[in-house]
Protein backbone atom coordinates (compact mmCIF):
# COMPACT_ATOMS: atom_id res chain seq x y z
CA UNK A 1 0.00 0.00 0.00
CA UNK A 2 2.91 2.31 0.69
CA UNK A 3 3.99 2.04 -2.92
CA UNK A 4 0.61 3.34 -4.09
CA UNK A 5 0.89 6.27 -1.71
CA UNK A 6 4.36 7.01 -3.05
CA UNK A 7 3.10 6.68 -6.60
CA UNK A 8 0.22 9.06 -5.87
CA UNK A 9 2.68 11.53 -4.34
CA UNK A 10 4.90 11.33 -7.41
CA UNK A 11 1.87 11.88 -9.65
CA UNK A 12 0.72 14.87 -7.63
CA UNK A 13 4.20 16.37 -7.60
CA UNK A 14 4.46 15.87 -11.34
CA UNK A 15 1.08 17.51 -11.95
CA UNK A 16 2.07 20.48 -9.79
CA UNK A 17 5.40 20.74 -11.60
CA UNK A 18 3.58 20.68 -14.95
CA UNK A 19 1.29 23.46 -13.82
CA UNK A 20 4.26 25.54 -12.64
CA UNK A 21 6.07 24.90 -15.93
CA UNK A 22 3.01 26.04 -17.91
CA UNK A 23 2.78 29.19 -15.79
CA UNK A 24 6.47 29.93 -16.24
CA UNK A 25 6.19 29.29 -19.97
CA UNK A 26 3.31 31.75 -20.13
CA UNK A 27 5.37 34.29 -18.18
CA UNK A 28 8.29 33.80 -20.57
CA UNK A 29 5.98 34.32 -23.55
CA UNK A 30 4.42 37.44 -22.00
CA UNK A 31 7.82 38.98 -21.29
CA UNK A 32 9.03 38.11 -24.80
CA UNK A 33 5.92 39.71 -26.33
CA UNK A 34 6.34 42.84 -24.18
CA UNK A 35 9.96 43.23 -25.25
CA UNK A 36 9.04 42.69 -28.92
CA UNK A 37 6.35 45.39 -28.70
CA UNK A 38 8.91 47.71 -27.11
CA UNK A 39 11.41 47.09 -29.93
CA UNK A 40 8.73 47.61 -32.55
CA UNK A 41 7.59 50.87 -30.94
CA UNK A 42 11.17 52.13 -30.74
CA UNK A 43 11.76 51.18 -34.37
CA UNK A 44 8.58 52.92 -35.49
CA UNK A 45 9.49 56.07 -33.55
CA UNK A 46 12.98 56.02 -35.06
CA UNK A 47 11.45 55.59 -38.54
CA UNK A 48 9.19 58.58 -37.95
CA UNK A 49 12.10 60.75 -36.78
CA UNK A 50 14.26 59.70 -39.73
CA UNK A 51 11.47 60.50 -42.20
CA UNK A 52 10.97 63.90 -40.63
CA UNK A 53 14.71 64.58 -40.73
CA UNK A 54 14.80 63.52 -44.38
CA UNK A 55 11.93 65.89 -45.22
CA UNK A 56 13.81 68.75 -43.54
CA UNK A 57 17.08 67.89 -45.32
CA UNK A 58 15.35 67.64 -48.69
CA UNK A 59 13.57 70.97 -48.16
CA UNK A 60 16.81 72.66 -47.14
CA UNK A 61 18.64 71.18 -50.13
CA UNK A 62 15.88 72.32 -52.52
CA UNK A 63 16.03 75.81 -51.04
CA UNK A 64 19.81 75.95 -51.50
CA UNK A 65 19.52 74.68 -55.06
CA UNK A 66 16.76 77.20 -55.81
CA UNK A 67 18.81 80.04 -54.32
CA UNK A 68 21.76 79.00 -56.50
CA UNK A 69 19.51 78.95 -59.56
CA UNK A 70 19.88 75.21 -60.20
CA UNK A 71 16.59 74.05 -58.65
CA UNK A 72 15.58 71.87 -61.58
CA UNK A 73 19.05 70.78 -62.61
CA UNK A 74 20.36 67.25 -62.77
CA UNK A 75 22.95 67.82 -60.08
CA UNK A 76 20.32 69.07 -57.62
CA UNK A 77 18.19 66.00 -58.36
CA UNK A 78 21.22 63.76 -57.85
CA UNK A 79 21.88 65.31 -54.44
CA UNK A 80 18.22 64.83 -53.44
CA UNK A 81 18.28 61.24 -54.68
CA UNK A 82 21.49 60.65 -52.69
CA UNK A 83 19.89 61.96 -49.52
CA UNK A 84 16.84 59.75 -50.08
CA UNK A 85 18.97 56.66 -50.71
CA UNK A 86 21.09 57.37 -47.64
CA UNK A 87 17.97 57.62 -45.49
CA UNK A 88 16.57 54.40 -46.98
CA UNK A 89 19.84 52.56 -46.25
CA UNK A 90 19.85 53.81 -42.66
CA UNK A 91 16.23 52.71 -42.22
CA UNK A 92 16.98 49.29 -43.67
CA UNK A 93 19.90 48.86 -41.26
CA UNK A 94 17.65 49.87 -38.37
CA UNK A 95 14.94 47.42 -39.46
CA UNK A 96 17.50 44.62 -39.75
CA UNK A 97 18.87 45.35 -36.27
CA UNK A 98 15.33 45.28 -34.85
CA UNK A 99 14.60 41.99 -36.65
CA UNK A 100 17.81 40.48 -35.20
CA UNK A 101 16.85 41.62 -31.71
CA UNK A 102 13.37 40.14 -32.05
CA UNK A 103 14.76 36.85 -33.39
CA UNK A 104 17.20 36.73 -30.47
CA UNK A 105 14.37 37.32 -27.98
CA UNK A 106 12.34 34.52 -29.55
CA UNK A 107 15.34 32.18 -29.51
CA UNK A 108 16.07 32.92 -25.83
CA UNK A 109 12.40 32.43 -24.88
CA UNK A 110 12.33 29.12 -26.74
CA UNK A 111 15.50 27.98 -24.98
CA UNK A 112 14.05 28.94 -21.60
CA UNK A 113 10.87 26.96 -22.30
CA UNK A 114 12.94 23.95 -23.40
CA UNK A 115 15.03 24.18 -20.21
CA UNK A 116 11.82 24.22 -18.17
CA UNK A 117 10.58 21.09 -19.93
CA UNK A 118 13.91 19.34 -19.38
CA UNK A 119 13.84 20.27 -15.70
CA UNK A 120 10.27 18.97 -15.46
CA UNK A 121 11.23 15.69 -17.12
CA UNK A 122 14.35 15.39 -14.97
CA UNK A 123 12.35 15.99 -11.80
CA UNK A 124 9.82 13.35 -12.82
CA UNK A 125 12.61 10.88 -13.53
CA UNK A 126 14.27 11.58 -10.16
CA UNK A 127 10.94 11.16 -8.38
CA UNK A 128 10.30 7.86 -10.12
CA UNK A 129 13.79 6.61 -9.33
CA UNK A 130 13.32 7.65 -5.71
CA UNK A 131 10.08 5.69 -5.61
CA UNK A 132 11.90 2.66 -6.92
CA UNK A 133 14.52 2.82 -4.22
CA UNK A 134 17.00 5.32 -5.64
CA UNK A 135 17.62 3.37 -8.78
CA UNK A 136 20.16 1.13 -7.02
CA UNK A 137 17.99 -1.94 -7.19
CA UNK A 138 16.22 -2.64 -10.45
CA UNK A 139 12.70 -3.26 -9.27
CA UNK A 140 9.40 -2.78 -10.98
CA UNK A 141 6.39 -0.98 -9.58
CA UNK A 142 4.71 -4.38 -9.70
CA UNK A 143 7.21 -5.67 -7.09
CA UNK A 144 5.55 -3.61 -4.32
Radius of gyration of the chain (CA): 31
Burial class from Cβ neighbours inside 10 Å (0-12, 13-18, 19+) for residue 96 reads exposed
Q: Which of 14-18, 77-81, 92-96 has the lowest mean pLDDT?
A: 14-18
Contact 88, 18 (CB under 8 A): no
How far, in Å, CA of 62 to CA of 84, rounded? 13
Give tens-digit pLDDT for 95-142.
999 999 999 999 999 888 788 777 777 766 665 555 555 444 555 555
Mean pLDDT of all residues in 20-41: 89
What is the structure's pLDDT at 15? Answer: 77
Average predicted confidence (pLDDT) for the chain: 81
What is the structure's pLDDT at 1? Answer: 53
For residue 5, pLDDT beyond 90: no
- CA 141, distance to chain mean position in Å, is 43
Amino acid sequence: MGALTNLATVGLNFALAQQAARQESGDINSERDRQIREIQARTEEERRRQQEALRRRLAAQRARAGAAGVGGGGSAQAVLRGLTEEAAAAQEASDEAAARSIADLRRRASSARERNLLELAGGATRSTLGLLGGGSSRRSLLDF
